[in-house]
């Protein structure tokens, strides 16, 4: 297995992908980072721990090991913009979400970015594709859940405070309507605020792999970090997380149940 990610295989038609929880930095990157960059402030903190119940559902779980500052697995290898007219964080970021420099000297050359794509980005995506293909072959369909989190307030990226659960299906293009409705209904019945296809509609992974016409359904959930951790210290708060896990489990179970009925 590649050291780029960890993977737990399940028997259910669902794959949960966690591309931004990783904190590893290769020496050739870490030695060039600023103090602000070394803090890795834009990590999706504790998301793999938050979803540690996924194997209990029989689903597969793929978790990135390396920081998004090495290469952002949820951006296209071509580094095309995902959101027109908004700040783009990039394939190999050179600024934090707050706008601070990540590198003390220089940035990331085109050659270096290409090398990072081959070494870190491509193995993650090759395995995603192979897993989804195997799930579709076995079950007749495949489900992909993109698990993310972000600070509740990031003025450079969005105005005000983010809703707690931010569901993205690329405007309904990456997931069938019955599945989308089932997930949104679970969010609406939860104690959390939620929104569908607002600021976060799904990144590259959701958009690239979600293809309802070919029986692959992809959803991204961006969670405001205040729901399960102390944002000031980045400390995981177990009581908050336990409450959130109950909702996440219900959302994933609905995703799988409706899929079996409608796909």
Q: Who contacts 14 (Cβ-Cβ below 8 Å, separation ≥6)?
A: 57, 58, 59, 60, 135, 143, 144, 145, 252, 255, 256
95 falls within a domain: no
Instruction: For residue 221, give the DSSP letter.
Output: E
CA distance 168 to 28: 35
Which residue in the block uniquely carries the two structure tokens 């903190």?
A: 45
Is the residue at 83 inside a domain? no
Query: Does a structural domain hold residue 79?
Result: no
Q: The domain containing residue 228 runs over which residues?
A: 5-24+42-66+110-262
The pLDDT assigned to 55 comes to 97
Residue 32 domain-assigned (yes or no): no
E strands of 28-81, at which residues? 60-64
Which residue, among 245, 246, 5, 250, has the nearest Cα to 119 in the 3D structure?
5
Extract the runs of DSSP E, i.e. beta strands, from 25-163: 60-64, 142-150
| Average pLDDT for runs of 10 along the chain of length 263 | 90 97 97 97 98 97 98 92 67 95 92 97 98 97 98 94 98 97 97 96 97 97 98 97 98 88 61
Which CATH number belongs to the domain containing residue 136 in this structure? 3.40.630.40
Residue 188 lies in a domain: yes
CA–CA distance, 72 with 76 (Å, rounded to integer)? 8
Q: How much is the pLDDT for 198?
A: 95
H or E element, residue 127 = helix 122-139
Are the C-beta atoms of 8 and 126 separated by less than 8 Å? no
> Rounded to whole angstroms, what are the CA distances from 80 to 58, 92, 137, 194?
35, 12, 31, 28
Residue 35 located in a structural domain:
no
Q: What is the pLDDT of residue 263?
A: 59
Tokens of 22: 């990783």
Q: Is residue 198 part of a domain?
A: yes
How many domains does the chain fold into? 1
Euclidean distance between CA atoms 228 and 81, whole angstroms? 30
**What is the structure's pLDDT at 169?**
98
Q: Is residue 84 in some structural domain?
A: no
Tokens representing 112? 């270096």
Nearest to 10 by CA among 53, 58, 63, 51: 58
């Amino acid at each position: 297995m590649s050291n780029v990610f960890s993977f737990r295989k399940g028997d259910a038609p669902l794959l949960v992908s966690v591309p931004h929880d990783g904190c590893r930095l290769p020496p050739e990157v870490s030695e060039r980072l600023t103090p602000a960059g070394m803090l890795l402030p834009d990590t999706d903190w504790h998301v793999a721990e938050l979803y540690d119940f996924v194997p209990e559902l029989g689903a597969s779980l793929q978790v990135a090991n390396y920081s998004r500052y090495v290469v952002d697995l949820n951006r296209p290898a071509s580094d095309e913009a995902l959101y027109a007219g908004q700040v783009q964080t990039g394939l190999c970021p050179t600024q934090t979400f707050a706008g601070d420099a990540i590198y003390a000297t220089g940035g990331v050359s085109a050659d270096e970015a290409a090398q990072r794509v081959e070494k870190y980005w491509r193995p993650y995506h090759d395995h995603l594709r192979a897993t989804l293909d195997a799930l579709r072959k076995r079950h007749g369909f495949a489900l992909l859940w993109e698990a993310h989190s972000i600070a509740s307030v990031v003025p450079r990226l969005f105005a005000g405070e983010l809703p707690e659960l931010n569901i993205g299906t690329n405007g309904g293009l990456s997931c069938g309507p019955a599945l989308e409705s089932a997930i949104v209904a679970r969010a609406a019945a939860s104690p959390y605020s939620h929104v569908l296809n607002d600021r976060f509609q799904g990144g590259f992974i959701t958009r690239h792999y979600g293809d309802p016409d070919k029986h692959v359904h992809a959803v991204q959930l961006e969670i405001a970090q205040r729901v399960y951790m102390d944002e000031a210290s980045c400390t995981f708060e177990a009581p908050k997380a336990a409450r959130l896990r109950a909702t996440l489990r219900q959302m994933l179970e609905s995703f799988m149940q409706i899929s079996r009925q409608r796909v």
